[in-house]
Amino acid sequence: MNQPLAERMRPKTLDDYIGQEHLVGQGAILRKVIESGSLPSFILWGPPGVGKTTLASIIANTQERPFHSLSAINSGVKDIRDTIEKAKSQQFFNRANPILFIDEIHRFSKSQQDSLLGAVEKGIVTLIGATTENPSFEVISALLSRCQVYILKPLEKHHLIAMVDKAVKEDYTLKTRKITIESYDAMIQLSGGDGRKLYNCLELVVNQFSKTEDIVISDEIVMSSIQQNLALYDKAGEQHYDIISAFIKSMRASDPNATVYYMARMIAGGEDPIFICRRMVILASEDIGLANPNALLMANSCFQAVHQIGMPEGRIIMSQTAIYLACSPKSNAAYLAIDNALNLVRQTGDLSIPLHLRNAPTKLMKNLGYGKEYKYAHDYKDGVSDMECLPEDIRGTVLYSPGANASEQKYADLLRHIWKGKYG
């Protein structure tokens, strides 16, 4: 009785399945494969909430195969091996192979995907993967070559309306209520074509009414109900941007506690860990930069490690890196320097390169003064010269100003020594 509406309404047969007519409609390619009794390994590629998990479950029920499900978010190599061993024990003469369904297979690391290869090749399991990302980029070639790829389309408006009507008519809870739907538009807009979100939205609205009230669903009621009650992390909506913003600003503010809290919110909400790592790489340069050059090295190492190892172990590396970045001294001097330089280029255009900085591979170029008066730094004390390198029209311009931190103060001292006029 406590199951959410989306779970209660999960279709059990292909005839109850809404959408993806190009794949599972009468006479469609995947339906023919399912009804034939044979089944190759394949990957379902499509946006969230269009029925990938449901379709895999229906296939297992239709063909009466054992069904094992793993999520790439919280499964490691050990989980994969344990599941494969369980599938081996279910193999009997003349019985179809068990199905191994892996949700968000694109989040599996290379080593995790490699651990599937043997079982797929030997027919121990029939693999069904689900992904929201292009499998050509996210699934290793050895595994991809052994799988068909079927593309699922976003649910259209008539599909979503049919889902709402079906729930109101058939769900054992909703069908006991008197529900009138004046408009579907707000529910469809908020769902973004995601069937699971659509059902969550409908259930949330219905729960605003007492059990004795007649329910009239209008766009106004839907919007007010969602705004008051929706506090879930949403990868594709406003919460996504709010939480990643809070995460970045917590690191920038040198608050490690808030940093790991917002990271945990994203991980628990199903955010792609590679997206989180990518944001840390950017912050390491934009907000820490030369105040601690090791920050960029560590953030990039984290990105590579999580890509190779995957989750759930990757969370430990991500936490270590996020705390390190939060506790690092901060400087945006490099960020400001390149923006200052880009603004200057837009204002001044393509200024002439000083002759002494130009190469002179021919005698004519040398006669024209190319390379003349060039000062080779290593010929001078401490390996530095006072040679001006900016174009003549903008000589004396300062684009990089060292930040007020211990690391960059060393640069400031050096620059004052070399360029007394600029950094005096």
93 band by pLDDT with thresholds 50, 70 and 90: low
Segment 51-70 mean pLDDT: 90
Other C-beta atoms closer than 10 Å to the C-beta of 399 total: 15
State the Cα–Cα distance between residues 251 and 67, nearest whole angstrom: 43
Token pair belonging to 235: 């990868």
Helices (H), 90-150: 110-121, 135-138, 141-144
Instruction: Retrieve residue 166's tokens.
Output: 């079906």
Average pLDDT over residues 315-336: 94
pTM of the model: 0.56
Q: Rounded to whole angstroms, what are the CA distances from 192 to 130, 155, 189, 381?
A: 19, 9, 6, 65
Q: Check residue 24 and give its pLDDT.
A: 92
Is a pLDDT exceeding 90 seen at residue 168? yes
In whole angstroms, give the CA distance from residue 257 to residue 207: 35
Domains of the chain: 19-151 (3.40.50.300), 157-229 (1.10.8.60), 238-327 (1.20.272.10), 342-423 (1.10.3710)
Q: Give the highest mean pLDDT range of 77-86, 144-153, 233-242, 415-424.
A: 144-153
**Band of pLDDT at residue 73, cut at 50, 70 and 90:** confident
Q: What is the mean pLDDT of the chain?
A: 86
Quick one: average pLDDT of 64-90?
A: 84
Mean pLDDT of 233-246: 64
The pLDDT value recorded for residue 231 is 43
Residue 98: phi and psi, rounded to 5, are -65, 155
Instruction: Give the per-residue pLDDT at 424.
Output: 63
- The pLDDT of residue 184 is 93
Residue 239 confidence class, pLDDT cut points 50, 70, 90: low
Greatest pairwise CA separation for the chain in angstroms: 97
Helix axes 195-206, 219-229, angle to 10 degrees: 90
Average pLDDT over residues 55-63: 91
**Best CA proximity match to 55, nearest among 132, 150, 176:** 150
Question: Is the confidence at residue 230, as pLDDT, over 60?
Answer: no
CA dihedral of residues 261, 200, 31, 12 (deg, nearest 10)? 110
Crossing angle of helices 110-121 and 77-89, rounded to 10°: 10
What separation in angstroms does the CA of 316 have from each of 204, 256, 322, 324? 35, 14, 10, 12
Exposed / middle / buried, residue 389 (Cβ in 10 Å: 0-12, 13-18, 19+):
exposed
Question: In the prediction, which pLDDT does 101 show?
Answer: 93
Higher pLDDT, 194 or 240: 194
Would you state the pLDDT for residue 225?
Answer: 78
Average pLDDT over residues 95-124: 86
- What percentage of the chain carries pLDDT values higher than 90? 35
pLDDT of residue 238 exceeding 60:
no
